[in-house]
Structures are given as structure tokens and as C-alpha cells.
Amino acid sequence: MKANMDKRKMLMILAIVALAGFTVFVIVGGKDYAERILIGLAISIVLAVSLNLFSGFTGLFSLGQVGFMAIGAYASSILTLPLAMKAANLPDLPVWLASIEMPFLPATLLAGSLAACVAFLVGIPLMRLIGPYVSVATMGFLVITQVVLTNADTFTRGSRTFAGVSGHTTLLNAWLWAAISVYFVLRMKYSSFGRAMRASRDNVIAAQSIGIDVVRQRLLAFCASAFLTAVGGALWAHFIRAFSPKSFYFTQTFSVITMVVIGGLGSVRGSILGVFFVTILSEVLRNLERGFSLGPVTVPSMYGASQVIMALILILIIVFRPGGMMGESETSLEALVKRFRKAGTKAGLKKE
């Protein structure tokens, strides 16, 4: 028990040190670079906590969440696209859709509602499955989404780039949605609904014996998760401003899953920590991929090495710490600061 606590303290210290170093790294990079990284962090937090809402609380691992992200991205982009741009890029749109140009907020809410409706229809049969069958089925949903987006030329331009999206995502609204997502998922976790979800995750038979409708709990969690994921997709689309169906496939899925697993399934704050860890490491590795010189040693460019290293880290986390950095705990910021100070005090005493 003591060894586990020491490991957790060490992980917290490393995370705080890495965050401090990353802050300096972002400041040195300049204002535009810093804003891009911070907006990306906020969007990743929305995506990570929404996946944790379903997979962490119900115990059913979804590989198809990025499909809802794609729905949110395309739906919000079509609704907010200027009328002149619609006429040029999407000339075959239905009349009722071609004549609509909505503000970003209602378009985002409608996109999230659409994703939740799709999740409800898909989830009715899927939520009756158990274990790895859910993962396989949700991956099938992701593949189906890809095929539909690629072939729906009228609405999505098919496999071509969907360009001309307005840049509505700002630092303020991205972090506002991140805060709303974290607050919502935390409140849900400690509500009676959240406790019922976790009870069905830990023991389905015991949960059913006390009157919990397991399928209903899973379905509601799946729909809520889809709504938040679509919101994250809308934010991402209006931040990137040009994308294609390939943007919402296995690479993006792997990225979000890595954040959640490294942070800890079932822990909202763990998801946030995982987002920071993966983002920091990805940015550092992406710069190192281009090659660098260190004195007489010259390392050539190795494009793609960052994904290999992230995959290895994910495997190591699953093998040696399957609960992630935080497990299921929700350590507060005050507790993290106390741990950091306590570890620093012990280190100072040992030096003396």
C-alpha cells in the first residue's frame, strides 16, 4: 500500500514539473503558438472527459466516440457556413438547409443533440452487449460513420476537404466548454445516476438485484457522452477550419483513448492530467521528429516516431499501471500542492 502511495506521489511530482516546463516552452514559442496549444488542450479535455463519462463509469470501452466528434464537426460547420460559401461549396444542399446560417452556439447545441439522437438509436442494441463485444461494435459504428461521410457528397463534399469553416472557436469559449464538461461529468459521477452506473460496472447481477436498470443507465451515459463529444468536434472544426472524413478515424481515436487510459479510467481529473501529459509529450516529440544536433551527435529526422513512442508508453501503462496515473481517485488541487510540498520537504531533509 505504501509503495503504491509513493509511486502515485512520484507521478504527481513528475506531472507538476512537466507542466511547469511546458508552460515555459509555450511562452517561449510565442503568443500564436501558445494560443493554439491552449485551445487544443481545452478541446482535448472535452473529448477525454466525455469518453471517460461512458467508458470509465460503465466499464464498457467505446472505440467509436470519434464518430460522434465527426457528426458534431460536420453538422455545426454546415449550419454556420455563410450562405455564399454554401452555394459555392455545397450547391446540392436541400433548400431548407442551404438557406440557414446559424450562430455558433445554437449550431453547436444542435450538433450535440443530433449526435445524442444517433447515439440513442445506435445504443439501443449495443448497450445490451458486454465486454469486448461493445468495443468491436462501436468500432463498427466508427467505420460506418466514415463510409457515410465519404459518400454523402451533398452534405460533406465526400472525401474532399471541407473548407471555408468560420473560425468561431476562441480561447474563451473553448475553455468555457471544457469547464462545463468537467463540471457536468463530476456532478454526474457523484449523483445517484453516477453511483448506479458504477454499481452496474462493478457487478451487473448485484446492481440488477437492487433494481438498477443497467441497460438504461448505459444508454443515458452513452447519449450524454455523445453530446459532449460532438461539442468537442464542433470546437475542433471551427478551430482547424478545414478537414475531411480521414480526420476522424483511428489516429484521432488512439489519441483520445491514450489520454484517458494514461490519466485513469473513472477519474475526471485523471483525464485532465492525461490530456496535459499526452499534449506535452506529443509537442516535444513532434519537434524532435524533425531531427536535431547535440554537440557532435546529429539525430536525423524520424517522422512518425512520436506515434510509436506514444504507443509504447500506452502499452507500458496498461501493463505496469492499468489504473493510470490517478486510478479512480479525484485528488483535489489543494491535495496535489500538499503532496508536492511534502515531497519537497522530504527531499530537503534527505539532502541535509
Q: Tens digit of pLDDT per residue, the chain (352 long)?
A: 555 555 555 555 655 565 565 565 555 555 677 888 889 999 999 999 999 999 888 888 889 999 999 999 999 999 999 888 888 888 888 888 888 889 999 999 999 999 999 999 999 999 988 888 999 999 999 999 999 999 988 899 888 889 889 889 998 999 999 999 999 999 888 888 888 888 888 888 888 888 888 888 899 999 999 999 999 999 999 999 999 999 898 888 888 998 998 888 888 888 888 898 888 888 877 777 776 666 676 666 777 777 788 888 888 888 887 777 776 666 554 454 455 456 555 545 444 4
Residue 329 near residue 267, CB atoms below 8 Å? yes
The grid coordinates listed for 272 are 485532465
pLDDT at position 223: 95
pLDDT at position 131: 80
The predicted model scores a pTM of: 0.83
Please report which helix (H) or strand (E) contains residue 297, including its range: strand 297-299
Burial 276-306 (b: 16+ CB within 10 A, else e): bbbbbbbbebeeebeeeeeeeeeeeeeeeeb
Nearest to 111 by CA among 63, 168, 160: 168
Instruction: Count Cα neighbours of 24 within 13 Å in the Cβ-side half-sphere.
Output: 5
Phi and psi dihedrals of 299, rounded to 5?
Answer: -100, 120
Nearest to 112 by CA among 291, 8, 235: 235
- Residue showing cell 473560425: 167
Residue 143 near residue 61, CB atoms below 8 Å? no
pLDDT at position 12: 57
Residue 182 near residue 45, CB atoms below 8 Å? yes
Interatomic CA distance for residues 168 and 159, integer angstroms: 24
pLDDT at position 27: 57
Interatomic CA distance for residues 114 and 226, integer angstroms: 9
pLDDT at position 351: 46
